[in-house]
Structure 1
Amino acid sequence: MREDDKNAYLLGFASTQQKIPEREEALPIDPDRALHPLIGLMVDAGTDLSGTMAADRRVRILPLTIQWPGRTLLDKGTAEVRTVARQLSHERIRSAEVSAPSVEALSYRMHPHLALNFDRLLLLATHPALVEASRSVEQMVQQHQEEITHLRRERQLRPDYALQVVNSRSLLSGPALQARLLLHAPELIAGDLPGLARFANTLSEHTEVWLAPGHPADIAFTLGRLEHPDLAPWVQACSPRLTQIMHRYPVLSCTAGRFGLESRTSKWKSAAAQVIDAAALAIRSRQLRFPLIQLSYDGSIRELRDWPEMQSLKKLAAEHEVKLHVTHMSLGGRVWASAQSLSLAFIRQMAD
């Protein structure tokens, strides 16, 4: 069996070995929900979420469809899929396409219990230039609206179920950082969906993501295929024609939804060091709005932690009481960012 065939087989097997249930299960109903609506937080499988956050009872993961020539996988964002996905070659990752799940597949997995386990749902969506998966959720809720209202009344729940979609204006580690902050927001605890959505929008306006792509030419190919004008700065920066005459490795950014090129270097490790330095500079200049930095890496996290640059960042963060969170990159994230990439996100201080 060829290596890619073997890995594709393992990926399919891993997708069935998930620790989370195949379908949304009915949960006990807390009578206090009549006074304080229970809010759920949904992110798509392309978000570089940690295993701990994915297991949080308030979090749900919106699956994404990953397609290769001759093969389709519903990525549910499980750790098992990520583990095997890291063994896939960058050529295999390059050939993949990420898209929204079908409404039918989503209904099978989540209806009707998603609308019964929560009274409100905030969907934090990855930048729409990459995927517009939120439409499938909106269509699912619309198609089953009457049934949802009836079932909620039967269970003595408030009949009004609300779904709010917020564009994270970000990708990779960015939505993961936003989700971490939203989970601890007073608005979520109080059941205030409009207030939580306002906070989420504020976060999206000040989120910075820095990326050191492992295979820039793969980004030019996969994102260029999407033909979205917002992605043009990344596609152009990673163009093989450009990387042949200039430094090969770009340092990319996405700030409040705007994709950009920060610098170029001849070695990937130098690009990764610049990404880490961006966080260090934000800490030293007291530009962090929240004392959190989120990293995601397609590689050995143990080796990443041993880098001198990471050791220095860890020391600096400890001195300023800033927490570093490091996760593996999602499968969808690998497709968008290319294999063997490093992503870093933080929320910059908001202007008065």
Structure 2
Amino acid sequence: MPRITNLVKKLQARGLKVEYVKGWSTRGSSSFTPKGVTCHWTAGPRGTEGRPSLNVVTHGRPGLPGPLCNVYLDRRGVAVVVAAGRANHGGRGVWKSGSGNSDFFGIEAEAADGNDWTEAQREAYPKLCAGLLDAIDESNASWVCGHSEYALPKGRKIDINGYPMSSMRAQVQAIINGQKPAKPKPKPKPSRPEAKPAALVQSKKNPPNGSTTFPKDFEDLAINKKPDALTIGALQILLHATGRRDNQRWDGKLAGRTVADTMRMLRAQGYYKVTPFTAKGVRKGTPLKVDRKAGFWFYVELQRFLADALGKRGKKFYRGKIDGIFKDMSWESFELWINTQNGR
């Protein structure tokens, strides 16, 4: 299927106010066969009245080229069509029989987190999902998923928590069936003040400090080709969020427990199980141990993982260079990969 160029018409038919970014009909890869819809938030500034994330979701960010969604939902409930083709929004994951960006439309709603939705967005979001399903002649709302439901490994992503997806799918199905959708129940207010948003995100102003409490997310890393505290801190946040918790301190150090958690992450992805070739006096196929030591084979397997995880870019980085020497190029690829794993 080529780019889906009936989006504006289909969204308007669902009663949405629709705008578009110039060039939308030719933006995104034409290798696009969508089966469903993945729902995201932008993790942008809290309570903003403008569209601070629209440029990023249209044109991309360092290490992740745009478009990053097909439709952007602003805080007034206006659907802005960004791309008719495949967008880079989902990363690794699966929902039903669909897997990958070619199988799903991506929606990015302007919100800082699950407590930052406007009523206009809550009303528009299910209509937007229904309109996208209309565009591909799909009438089953089970093809609508949250990024947190889709992403692998489980726990890698947290959006769109705060908008229950069971309620979303029920609303979408009601709209498709010509019924009036029920409004989702409001999220209960916390019994105590929430922490300031800055404390929930790793940044230059909030770097790793040895705490046993891990941030929920991290700002994009600067690509500086070295294992500084922010780079390893982001890795620790990701490992902790995905249930690998041998390491209990957010300290930004690639030491024993963090190394062990990384080895387990690699194993879960099909790496760091046996040696992939003969080297250092060790035969190909020798079982690898989770031993907390960041040695030659640890870095070989990390390079192999990054070469695959970054797709074509990874292949360019590592063509003939899986050598276990983790220096500038390898750290650059690691930082690029880490930046694809946050919720921002």
| TM-score for the superposition, normalised by structure 2 | 0.32
**Structure with the larger strand share:** 1
**Structure with the larger helix share:** 1
